[in-house]
Chain A
Amino acid sequence: MSPALFSQLCALGSSLVLITGIAILWRHSLAVYIDYFARQSFVFVLVILGVAAYAGEAELYLVAAMVFLFKVMLIPRILRRVRRHVGVDIEVRPYVNVPASVALAGLLTLIAYAVTRPVVEISGLPTRAGIPLALAVVFVGLLIVVSRRSALAQIVGFLVLENGIALLAILATYGVPLIVELGAFLDVLLGFLVMQVFVYRIRETFDTIDVDRLSGLRH
C-alpha cells in the first residue's frame, strides 16, 4: 500500500470514529448511545489493524484483539444489561440541547486542529492526519459527560474519551510500550466495572440514575 493511500485511510477511519462519537450527541436514547459506542470501537479496531499491517507492529494485533473483545463485545453487553435493569430509556432534558451540542462538537474539533498543529508538524508518520481527529474524539467524550444527566450516558462519554486517547496513542506513536498499554487497558476495564456497580447502587438508593438528583452535598 502506498503511504499516501494509507494516510488517507487513516484519516477516513479516524473521521468515522469521530462521527460515531458526535452521533451520540445527536440522539436521546441510552440504547442508541451504547450501540454507537460499540460501532465506534469496531471502527477503531479496523484502524488498529490497518496500522498494525502497514507498520508491521505485531504488538498492535494483540491490542486490536483486546479492544475487540472488550470494547466491542463485553463492555457494550454489560452496558445493555445495566440499561435493562435500570429500565429507563429516554434521556430527558440533557443539560445542552442537540443543536447546541453538535455545534459545540464542531467547535471542539476546530480547537483540536489548532492545538495539535505542532504535533502534526513534527510527526513523520503517515498516520499524522488523524491526530487532530483523535483529540477531537477526546473532547467529544468530555462533552458527552458534562452535557448528559444520566449516569449511564456519562459512562458512555468516558468510554468514548478513552477510545480517543487510545486512537491518539496509535496514530501518534504506533502505540505506547506494551506494559503501559496493558496497564492502561486494565485500569479502564476496572474503572468501568466499578462505575457500572455504582449505577446499580445509585438506582437502588435514589430510584433514578439522573445525576441531577444527586445534590445532597452542599457546603
Chain B
Amino acid sequence: MLLVALLLLPLAAAVPALVAPRYHPSIAATSAVASGAAFLAALGLARANLRGDVPSVGPGDFLRADGLSAVLALVVSGVACVSLWFGAGYLERVRDHGGLDDARLRRFYVLTNLFVATMLLAVTANNVGVMWVAVEGTTIATAFLIGLEHSKAALEASWKYILIGSIGIALAFVGTVLGYFDFVQRVGEAPHALHWTVLARASPGLNGDVLRLAFVFILVGYGTKAGLAPMHTWLPDAHSEAPAPVSALMSGVLLSVGIYALLRFKPVVDLAAGPEFARRILLVLGLASMAVAALFLWTSRNFKRMLAYSSVEHIGIVCLGLGFGGAWGVTGALAHIVNHALAKSALFLLAGRIRAAYDSAEVLAVRGLMGPLPRTGGAFLAAMLALMGLPPFGLFTSEVMIFGAGFREGRTVVTALGLALLVVAFAGLLRTTQTMLHGTPAQVPAHPSAGAWPAVPVLVALLLLVLTGLAWPPGLADALDRIATVVRG
C-alpha cells in the first residue's frame, strides 16, 4: 500500500498541472503537499524495514522496498519535498522578473512530478529491466526542465544531456541484456528472471566472464547517469543551467539513483566473478572523478558549476567507499549519499536565491554578498563548510568512515591519493566561497528580497546534517549495517 502510494502521489500531483487551463498557485501547493505525503510514505517503508519487514506489491514482488530502496526513497522524496516547497516561491519570483511565463511554470510542475515519480519507480522496482526503463524515463522528464528558462546555454546543456544520457543508459541496457542472457543460459526461462531477488539468488551459479562483461557495460551506462568521470561531461552544464529546484533534485538525488542501479548489480557480479573485479573498477573511477573535480573546482568561475563539479567529487568518494568495501566502506558510502543529498540540495537552492538576487551566477559578480545578503550568505557558508566535510556536519563522519575503511582494507595508496585530492578540492571550494562571500561588494543585488519562508527547507537540511554528523538516531547504525550486507552480497 505504502509503495503504491509513494509512486501514485507524485503522479497524481502532475495531473492538475497538466489539465489546468493556466498556472495557479494552488498547482504549486498541491505538488508540495503530495511530495510531503510521499515522504511520509517513504518513512513508513523505512520503519517497516527497521521492524524487519520488506514491503512488496504485485506479481513476483513487482515493487519491493528493502532497506537500500527505502533509504533511496527517503532521500528522493525528501529532496523532492524540499525542492517543491522552496520552488514555489522561487519560480514565481523568476516569473515576476520576466524569466519565465505561466505556461512554463505549469510545465515545471508536470515534468518535475513525473521526474520524481520515475526516480521513485527506479529505486523500488524489483525488475532490473523496469528499473532501467525508469532511469531512462528520468532523462526524458528532465530534458525539458533544464532548458526551462530558454537561454542559449541551457539549450546547449540540454542537448548534451539528452544525447549523452540516452546513450549511456542504452549501454546499461546492453549490460542488463547480457546479465539476463547469462541467467537464461544457466537457469532457463524462469518467470521474473529479471527480478533482482531472483537474479541475486541465482548469482553464485552464473558465468563470471559474461557477468564481468555485463558489469562493464552497466558501469559505463549507469556511471554516465551518476556523473562518474570520464562520463561526467554533461553534468556541469546540465546542473548549472537548470533552474535551482531542478538542480537540487538532479545533483542531490538523480546521481545517487545512478549509483543505486549499480549497487543492484554489484552483489550479483561479486558472487559470480569474485568481489575484486567490481572493486578495482570502482576505485579507479572514483579516483578519476575526484581528480577531474578537484581540477575544475579550481578553475570554475560560475558558482553553480562549482557545485556541479563538487557533485562529481562526492560521487567519486561514494565509489571509493563502495570500492574499499567492508562494513565501514559500504555503510560510509550509503551515509555519504544521504549527507551529500542534504548538503547539495540546500546549496543549489541557496545558489538559486543568490542567482535570482543578482541575475548572475558568476562568482565575481556576486563578490562580497555577505554585506547585502547576510542571512543567505551565512546559510551558504554553513552549507559550504558542510560540503567540504568539516565537523560537526554529517559529511565529515561519512568521509572518515570511507577513508578509514580504505586503510583498514589495506588500500593505502588509493586512500592516500583520495585524501590528497580531497584536500585539493577542499582548498578550491574554500577559495571560491571566500571570493563570493567576503570582500568589497561587487554590486548591489537587483532583487534582494526573497522573504524568509523559502529558507525553512534549507535550515531543516542543515539541522539534519548536524544530526547525521553528531549523533545517529538509535537503530540507524544497525539499519545501515543490514543494508550494507545486502550490497556486499
- In the complex, are the beta carbons of B129 and A145 less than 8 A apart? no
Q: List the B side residues contacting A154 at CB < 8 Å.
A: 163
CB pair B185–A145 under 8 Å, yes or no, is: no
Closest Cβ–Cβ distance, residue B362 to chain A (whole Å): 11
Q: Do residues A191 and B166 form an inter-chain contact, with CB atoms below 8 A?
A: yes
Give the contact-size bracket for chain A. 35 or more
Of B10-18, B99-107, B151-159, the one touching chain A: B151-159
Interface residues of B in 146-171 (CB under 8 A from A): 147, 152-153, 155-160, 162-163, 166-167, 170-171
Report how far A215 CA is from B147 CA in the complex, Å.
Answer: 16
**Binding-face segment, B246-254, B299-307, B323-331:** B299-307
CA distance in complex: A165, B217 (Å) = 12
Residue numbers in A under 8 Å from B185 (CB-CB): 122-124
Could you tell me if A219 and B144 are in contact, using CB atoms closer than 8 angstroms?
no
Residues from chain B with a CB closer than 8 A to the CB of A161 are 167, 170
A214 interface residue per 8 A CB criterion: yes
Distance in Å from the Cβ of B290 to the closest Cβ of chain A?
A: 18
Chain B residue contacts of A191, Cβ below 8 A:
136, 139-140, 162, 166
Contact B132 A115 (CB under 8 A): no
Q: Are B170 and A168 in contact (CB under 8 A)?
A: no
Within 8 Å CB of A190, what residues of B?
140
Q: Does B382 contact A (CB under 8 A)?
A: no
Counting CB contacts under 8 A, is A27 at the interface? no
Q: Is B358 an interface residue (CB 8 A)?
A: no
Query: When chains A and B are docked, how far (Å) is the Cα of A207 from the Cα of B177?
Result: 40
Inter-subunit contact A172/B305 (CB<8 Å): no
Residues of B within 8 A of A142 (CB): 167
Binds A, one of B206-214, B402-410, B415-423: B206-214
- Identity of the chain B residue whose Cβ is nearest the Cβ of A118 in the assembled complex: B209
What is the CA–CA distance of A143 and B312 in the complex, to the nearest angstrom?
26
Query: Quick check: A202 and B155 within 8 Å, CB to CB?
Result: yes
Q: Give every chain A residue within 8 A of B159 (Cβ-Cβ).
A: 151, 198, 202, 211, 214
Q: Does A46 contact B (CB under 8 A)?
A: no
Q: Across the interface, which residues of B come within 8 angstroms of A217, CB to CB?
A: 153, 156-157, 236-237, 241
Residue A87 lies at the interface, judged by CB distance under 8 Å to chain B = no
Contact with B along A106-149 (1 / 0, CB 8 A): 00000000011011001110000000000100100010010000
Complex Cα gap A138–B147 (Å): 29
Residue in A124, A176, A205, A215 whose beta carbon sits within 8 Å of that of B194 in the complex: A176
A165 near B157 (CB under 8 angstroms)?
A: no
Residues in A neighbouring B23, C-beta threshold 8 A: none
Contact B180 A173 (CB under 8 A): yes
Closest to A198 in B: B159
Q: Is the CB of B136 within 8 A of A194?
A: no
Chain A residue at minimal CB-CB distance from B236: A217
Stretch at the interface among A66-74, A94-102, A180-188: A180-188
| B277 lies within 8 A of chain A by Cβ | no
Closest to B159 in A: A198
Within 8 A of A (CB), among B210-229: 210, 213
Q: Which residues from A are CB-within-8-Å of B182?
A: 122
A195's partner among B133, B163, B184, B236 (CB-CB below 8 A) is: B163
Q: Which residues of B contact A205 (CB under 8 A)?
A: 152, 155
- Nearest residue, chain B, Cβ from A169: B177
* Residue interface bits A202-219, CB-to-B below 8 A is 1, else 0: 100110000100111101
| Chain B residues closer than 8 Å to A145, beta-carbon distance | 163, 167
Interface residues of B in 92-134 (CB under 8 A from A): 127, 129-130, 132-133
Is B79's beta carbon under 8 Å from chain A? no
**Chain A residues, Cβ within 8 Å of B209:** 118
- The reply to whether A122 and B132 form a contact with Cβ atoms under 8 Å apart is no
CB distance from A195 to the nearest CB of B (A): 6
Contact across chains for A219 and B296 when beta carbons are under 8 A apart: yes
A124, B181: Cα distance in complex, Å = 11
Supposing A187-B133, A187-B140 touch, asked if A119 and B181 sit within 8 A by C-beta, the answer is: yes
- B129 engages A216 (CB within 8 Å): no
CB-nearest residue of chain B relative to A192?
B166
Residues of the A chain whose Cβ atoms lie less than 8 Å from the Cβ of B140: 187, 190-191, 194
Cβ of B143 under 8 Å from chain A: yes
Docked complex Cα distance between A73 and B56 (Å): 41
Q: Which residues of B contact A158 (CB under 8 A)?
A: 163, 166-167, 170
Please state if B167 and A173 are interface contacts (CB–CB under 8 Å): no
Flag if A184 contacts B301 (CB, 8 Å): no
| Contacts A173-B184, A202-B159 given; does A180 touch B129 at CB 8 Å | yes
B271 within 8 A of A: no
Q: Please, how many angstroms separate the alpha-carbon atoms of A217 and B137 in the complex? A: 26
Complex alpha-carbon distance, A206 and B158, angstroms: 14
Contact A122 B162 (CB under 8 A): no
Chain B neighbourhood of A179, CB < 8 A? 127, 129-130
A201 within 8 A of B: yes
User: Are A176 and B305 interface neighbours, CB within 8 A?
Assistant: no
Interface residues of B in 16-55 (CB under 8 A from A): none
A119, B213: Cβ atoms closer than 8 Å: yes
Interface contact B174-A135, CB-CB below 8 Å: yes
Interface string of B178-207 (1 = CB under 8 A from A): 101110110000000110000000000001
Instruction: Identify B129's interface contact among A165, A168, A177, A186, CB under 8 A.
Output: A177
Residues of A within 8 A of B173 (CB): 165, 184
With A198-B143, A205-B152, A219-B302 as known contacts, state yes or no: A172 contacts B163, CB within 8 Å. Answer: no
Q: Are A122 and B170 closer than 8 Å at their CB atoms?
A: no
Question: Is A165 a contact partner of B177 (Cβ separation < 8 A)?
Answer: yes
CB closest residue in chain A, given B185? A122
Q: Is A162 at the interface (CB under 8 A from chain B)?
A: yes
Interface CB pairs A-B, < 8 A, 29: A119-B213, A122-B185, A122-B207, A123-B181, A124-B185, A142-B167, A145-B167, A162-B170, A165-B170, A168-B174, A172-B177, A172-B181, A176-B129, A177-B193, A177-B194, A180-B127, A180-B194, A183-B129, A184-B173, A187-B137, A191-B162, A195-B166, A198-B159, A201-B147, A206-B152, A214-B159, A217-B153, A219-B300, A219-B302
Q: Which residues of B pack against A, CB within 8 Å?
A: 127, 129-130, 132-133, 136-137, 139-140, 143-144, 147, 152-153, 155-160, 162-163, 166-167, 170-171, 173-174, 176-178, 180-182, 184-185, 193-194, 207, 209-210, 213, 236-237, 241, 296, 299-302, 305
Supplied contacts A165-B170, A184-B133, A191-B162, 7 more A-B pairs, CB within 8 Å: A119-B181, A142-B167, A176-B194, A180-B127, A180-B130, A190-B140, A194-B143
